[in-house]
Every structure is written in structure tokens, then in C-alpha cells.
Homo-oligomer: A and B are copies of this chain.
């Protein structure tokens, strides 16, 4: 017995979390679920439907989509069983080869590639346009730092199989609706069109490295116009095209004025004019955006509309962003599948709201703790609990025979707004003491009266 105990003791370990991961306790979960449910509610309101894909994808599905840097951040899963069975001793000298032999699966890195795989595999079953949303965790072997985790949720909404500008109009509206429900007020919905950027580079004769240029343009917001100019010089752009770019990106005015301005600049570019017409088309449907020619978005797969929403009043930066793409499923050899998507920085939004009033309500609305003054009242307490719960009112019941003071403390710690006290008097009179934990007041009521009271609280909430 002692020997066994010692072995057990030796095996004890200090409990810890892997680097860059988090637990979410009840308080955090309350906030996370509130925000996630609001998103789901609005997605449903706009006719989007949920899908979920596995956490694990085949490595070949994932690699090659995120650039060399991204590919390095993919978490690989060791083959199960005898993981070395396909390897030779020599493979040890070529880590990349060894890796491909001991691991063929990896953790989801984003929600876009799984969507492309899903659409490719289910193309015959889907009714187009396919409107899906997906809220799931992704994993990245990034260096953890404040606010950056190795496991975090993404939240994507996409239309697949449509080229209509109604999508942009609806997405703009959806963003406003979500942020209104979450009481996020100060933000800019910025919109641009990659075709306009292409037009500009064509006219300036600098269209050779379009995607590289987009990456530089995308940084203007962070680095400012002076550093932007410097970076263009380093990359050997000539001074006249740099001057023109800066003039365009610094132009201020209404959307209408911006359109007239850019039309004059790029009237010689067919693709540029196409981009302008697409934006005009969106303006017919929805005017709630501000045209921003310096919005470029880093990802090379966007081909037309691109957009980004930035919070105005703090350093949280981008709240969501997305764009239109021409071929989501190319990698999987499926016929051209255009679409348009928006990705919400849901972790960032939760963080933004965590300190806000709407998520700081300290007490649940309709929750009661039943507290008994003596163990002999337990059967009666259980009956009362059952009856109250039948009215969809949440009831907690202290399982142990604590002193009343400790029970009240439990209620406070668990944000339970009412405590129903069951003692000798209460049992005899059938009138129970109901203590309001926030106001400290207490009154005697029948169970039916207590149920009515709780229901009226919820209905007036």
C-alpha cells in the first residue's frame, strides 16, 4: 500500500497549460457565448447557414496555401501507432523528408481552405449560391504574445457561386446589424476594388509585381505615408509613379467625388473602368461605405471588391475584412467557383466588449439559489426546485449543509440574484423568504408568487 502510494506520488506533475493556450472559465464563457450567439443570430437573419469542418485536415490540403511563413506555422500531427514505420534511418538527415513520413495530418490553420475543400467535395449536392458561416477554432504555431494565441476562434461568412453585387450590399448591411446589436458604434466600413488598383498600376506602368505592391499599399495605415514612400523607393519604383500613388491615396472627398477623380486618372485602363463600374453598381444598392483607394488587403486571391472595417476609438484596428475572389476551389481542380467572404476578428471583438457595459452585467436575470437552514428540509427544497425549473427559471441548490452566510456568499460569487431560504417558518406557512442579493432586501412569498416575479423580471429585461 505504501509502495503504491509512493509510486503515485512520484508520478505527480505540476498542472500547466501548453504555451499560447487558454482555459475559459464560467465568466469568460458567458461573454464568449453572448458574442458568438449574437453573430449566429445575425448570420441566420441574413440567410447564412452554419457548417463545421474537422479540426484535422490532410497535410496536402493545407500546405501551399499560406505562403512559406504560414506553412511553417501549421501544427502537424504525428502518425498514430508505429510512426516510424515508413521512415529510414537516413531520413533523419533530411528533416523535411522525415516530417512527411511521420506526419500526414495537421490542425486547421484557417476556415477558408477547409471551405474550399468542403465545396469541392460537395459540389454536386450544394444549391448555389451557397451561403455559409463557420465559427471554429484554428491553430497556429505563432510565437505567443499579448493577445496572440496558438488556439483561437475564427468567424467567416461566405457566398459561394455568385457574382452579384447584391452580396456586397448585404454584407455591408450585415456588418452594421451585428455591430449595432453588439453596441459597437465607432467604425469605418472601407471598400475598394482590386481592379481599380490594377488600373492604377497599369496606367503608371508598374503592374509587374502587383501582389507585392498590394502588400506594401496594405501597410500605409500602419506605417504612414512617409514610410510608405520610402518603402516604394527601396523597391525601385520611380519617383513619378510614387508621386501619383500618393496623390491618389491622399485624395479626400465623398464617394461620388472619389469616383470622378479616379475615373479621370485611369480612364485608359479597361480593368480599372470595370472596377469603377462594380463600385457604382454597389452604390445603387447600399451607400454605407467609404471608398478608400489605399485599401489593398494582403491576400493575393482577392480579385474584385475588398473591404475592411476599422474600429475608430481604440487601438484594436481591424474588426473584420474580406473580399471577392474568382476561384476558391482551384487547388482541388473543381470548375471555377467565385465567391465573396468576410472574416470577423471575433477574438478581438470579444476582447473589445469584455470591458464594455453590455458584458458587465454582474448578475444573471432569472436565477435562484435555494438555501436550506436544516438538512431535514432537503426533500422539500428539491420539490420546490423542480417546480420552479418547470417554469424555465434556473435554480441552483447548495449541495452541502453550509451556514446561511456561506450560502449567501456562494450566491454572490456565482452572480445569482435571488436566494430562496427554506426554514421551519417557511415550511409551516408555505411562504418563503426571497432575498434580493443586489438590494439586500427580503420578502416572504408563495412559490407561485416567486415564479410570477421571476417571469416578470425576464419579460421586462
Q: Does A244 contact B (CB under 8 A)?
A: no
- Could you tell me the distance between the alpha carbons of A396 and B87 in the complex, rounded to whole angstroms? 53
Q: Does A445 contact B (CB under 8 A)?
A: no
A 382-395 to B, binary, CB cutoff 8 A, 1 in contact else 0: 10011001001111
A129-B399 contact in complex given A49-B26, A60-B13, A78-B103, C-beta closer than 8 Å: yes
Q: Does A186 contact B (CB under 8 A)?
A: no
B residues less than 8 Å from A107 (CB atoms) = 55, 77
A380 to chain B minimum Cβ distance, whole angstroms, is 11
B residues less than 8 Å from A167 (CB atoms) = 399
A23 partner, pick from B13, B51, B89, beta carbons under 8 A = B51
A386 partner, pick from B120, B121, B173, B410, beta carbons under 8 A = B173
B residues less than 8 Å from A137 (CB atoms) = 55
- Could you tell me the distance between the alpha carbons of A307 and B410 in the complex, rounded to whole angstroms? 28
B residues less than 8 Å from A393 (CB atoms) = 45
* Contact between B21 and A378, CB atoms less than 8 A apart: no
- Could you tell me the distance between the alpha carbons of A159 and B131 in the complex, rounded to whole angstroms? 41
B residues less than 8 Å from A447 (CB atoms) = none
Taking A15-B117, A22-B54 as known contacts, 14 extra A-B pairs with beta carbons closer than 8 A to each other, sorted by chain A number, are: A8-B330, A13-B331, A16-B121, A18-B58, A21-B56, A25-B125, A26-B132, A46-B389, A46-B394, A46-B395, A47-B369, A56-B139, A76-B77, A162-B400
B residues less than 8 Å from A131 (CB atoms) = 396
For the residues of A in contact with B, the DSSP-based class is: mixed
Q: Does A404 contact B (CB under 8 A)?
A: no
A45 partner, pick from B58, B151, B389, B410, beta carbons under 8 A = B389
- Could you tell me the distance between the alpha carbons of A33 and B17 in the complex, rounded to whole angstroms? 29
A54 partner, pick from B23, B159, B285, B399, beta carbons under 8 A = B23
* Contact between A47 and B78, CB atoms less than 8 A apart: no
A39 to chain B minimum Cβ distance, whole angstroms, is 13
- Could you tell me the distance between the alpha carbons of A4 and B65 in the complex, rounded to whole angstroms? 16
Can you list 25 A-B pairs, Cβ within 8 angstroms, ordered by A? Answer: A13-B61, A15-B120, A18-B58, A23-B52, A29-B51, A33-B50, A46-B389, A47-B394, A47-B414, A47-B416, A49-B414, A56-B75, A56-B139, A73-B80, A76-B78, A77-B78, A80-B141, A89-B89, A131-B396, A159-B399, A162-B399, A164-B400, A170-B382, A173-B386, A284-B379
B residues less than 8 Å from A416 (CB atoms) = 47
- Could you tell me the distance between the alpha carbons of A54 and B117 in the complex, rounded to whole angstroms? 25
* Contact between A53 and B23, CB atoms less than 8 A apart: yes
B residues less than 8 Å from A413 (CB atoms) = 127
- Could you tell me the distance between the alpha carbons of A385 and B50 in the complex, rounded to whole angstroms? 21
Q: Does A150 contact B (CB under 8 A)?
A: yes
A395-B47 contact in complex given A77-B76, A78-B99, A81-B72, C-beta closer than 8 Å: yes
Nearest residue (CB) in B for A26 is B49
* Contact between B15 and A332, CB atoms less than 8 A apart: yes
Q: Does A222 contact B (CB under 8 A)?
A: no
* Contact between A394 and B45, CB atoms less than 8 A apart: yes
Q: Does A455 contact B (CB under 8 A)?
A: no
| Max count, chain B CB within 10 A of own CB: residue among A25, A47, A122, A398 | A47
A351 to chain B minimum Cβ distance, whole angstroms, is 16
- Could you tell me the distance between the alpha carbons of A309 and B414 in the complex, rounded to whole angstroms? 30
* Contact between A382 and B150, CB atoms less than 8 A apart: no
A11 partner, pick from B17, B54, B64, B395, beta carbons under 8 A = B64
A99-B121 contact in complex given A45-B395, A54-B151, A56-B139, C-beta closer than 8 Å: no
A392 to chain B minimum Cβ distance, whole angstroms, is 7
Q: Give the 8 A-B residue pairs with the shortest CB-CB distance, closest first.
A: A47-B396, A80-B141, A21-B54, A26-B49, A164-B399, A127-B413, A15-B120, A15-B332
